[in-house]
Structure 1
Amino acid sequence: MEKRTVNPWKWQNERSYSQAVEVKNVQSTLYCSGQAAIAPDGTSSNKDMKSQLEQAIANLEEVITTAGYKCSGIVRLNIYTTSTEELWPHFPILQEWIGRHKIQQAVTMLEVKGLFETLKVELEATVVK
């Protein structure tokens, strides 16, 4: 697989994403459903944003590795949240995870009116290898 990031500017680097990601010679692609703070028994979290973000990241990583992929293969990450204002102070948690796995991804963050049950943040990814 060949991956090339396209960044006409530098400001996105501080936000841990790329303006575009081109991939060629892909062996396979994994489209992950939105992962949120849901326990293995299917119970939705009613904890704070920080705890839910940490659980959503852990769940996304679990899905990716169970499928036989690596987090470094994430090329697209969509973030859905019920409050960008509440999420933003905890964004370094996501940035540290991105840095640890050397992920280079295009990203979109959307504030939505609501998510399933008591959920506050959901992460949706496209992964290649």
Structure 2
Amino acid sequence: MERTAVNPWDWSLKLGYNQAEVVEGVTRQVICAGQTAVDGEGNPQHLDDMRAQIGLALDNLEAVLEKAGMDLSNIIRLGVYATDVDEALTNFDVMGMRFGIHQNAPPMTLLGVSRLAIPGLLFEIEATAAA
């Protein structure tokens, strides 16, 4: 798989994502459902702690990817949902640390929502991965 970043402007790079990517030579895709801060039984964790919820949502995303034979370096698109966008952005360095290790800045969208499916959850991340 070959990825080419498309950035007519560089402001998004400072926030950790590309405006677009051209992805060529893909033989496999994994479409991941939204991952949140739940334990193995689906119970919400870290209520009222956005930073911890981001970390656990990323842990859960990595577990799904690992089961599919991939990791965060394979992510080609992210959709992020937060009940408090300002609080999510304050803690977005967690995302940068996790994706930075893989030198991956996939295109993403961050949306503010009034609530997520399970009460108490503050952050959800869905992803498309390719290899």
Q: TM-score, normalised by structure 2?
A: 0.94
Aligned to 1:29: 29
| Equivalent-residue separation in structure 2 for 1:99 and 1:36 (angstroms) | 20
Per-residue CA distance 1:22-75 (angstroms, 9 max, x = gap): 111101000000000010111012241111111001100111111101211111
1:9 lines up with 2:9 in the alignment: yes
Aligned to 1:124: 126
Aligned to 1:76: 77
Structure 1 runs (4+) deviating above 3 angstroms are none
1:101 Cα deviation after fit: 1.6
1:97 Cα deviation after fit: 0.8
Question: Is the 8 Å Cα contact of residues 48 and 122 (structure 2) preserved in structure 1?
Answer: no
Letter in structure 1 aligned against 2:59: A
Letter in structure 2 aligned against 1:7: N
Question: Is the 8 Å Cα contact of residues 21 and 104 (structure 1) preserved in structure 2?
Answer: no
Q: Which runs of 5+ in 2 are unaligned?
A: none
Q: Which runs of 5+ in 1 are unaligned?
A: none
Matches within 5 A, 1:71-110: 71-110=72-111
Q: TM-score, normalised by structure 1?
A: 0.96
| Equivalent-residue separation in structure 1 for 2:64 and 2:48 (angstroms) | 22
SS in 2 for 1:32: strand
| Number of residues of Structure 1 aligned to a counterpart in Structure 2 | 129
